Amino acid sequence: MQTLVIALVVAALAAVAATTLRRRTPEPPTQTTWTVPQQLDRSEFADPAAPWVVVLFTSETCSACATMTNKAELMRSPVVSVDVVPFLARKTTHERYHIDAVPTTVMADSEGIVRASFVGPVSATDLWAAMAELREPGSTPPPEAHTHQPR
């Protein structure tokens, strides 16, 4: 009988200790995910006949969006159209594609299939490299080519 009482006390202490430790462990940070469209209706965007389109979803109150607009505009060419979609001016387009973060950049082919996307500001180099790789697969060096290997 005494052994049973001791076992119950030890089990109760273990349960209290486990509960206390669980309460002290902080919750992991929220992992935010943003919606990026997988398909575009090319007729809604600039130059639907161009083989590629870069669509930049922006907001008039976003300072990073202005910088991204300048970077995206530099990609305009006979084969790459660029369409900047400001939230206030084209709110229904943002809603249709469920854009919930700006700047959001998508690169789509002639059928409107999104082949690359970025949420948030990125470098002009990253934009150019993504489009170069889409237009000509294998044209950009693999990431491991950028790392220094000791001799």
Chain segment 92-106, per-residue pLDDT in tens? 999 999 999 999 999
By percentage, how much of the chain surpasses pLDDT 90? 66
- Which whole number is the average pLDDT over 17-36? 71
Confidence of residue 1 (pLDDT cuts 50, 70, 90): confident
Q: Which residue has the higher pLDDT, 60 or 145?
A: 60
Phi then psi for residue 38, to 5 deg, are -100, -20
- Domains in the chain, start-ordered, CATH in brackets? 42-135 (3.40.30.10)
**What integer pLDDT is reported at residue 8 of this predicted model?**
66
Mean pLDDT of the chain: 86
Choose the weakest-confidence range: 20-24, 52-56, 112-116, 117-121. Answer: 20-24
DSSP track, the chain: -HHHHHHHHHHHHHHHHHHHHHHHSPPPPP-------SB--GGGSS-TTSSEEEEEEE-TT-HHHHHHHHHHHTT--SSEEEEEEETTTTHHHHHHTT--SSSEEEEE-TT-BEEEEEES---HHHHHHHHHHHHSTT-S--GGGGSPPP-
The per-residue pLDDT for 149 is 44
How confident is the model over 36-61, as a mean pLDDT? 96
- Higher-scoring residue by pLDDT: 97, 32: 97
pTM over 0.85: no
* Residue 116 or 26, more confident: 116
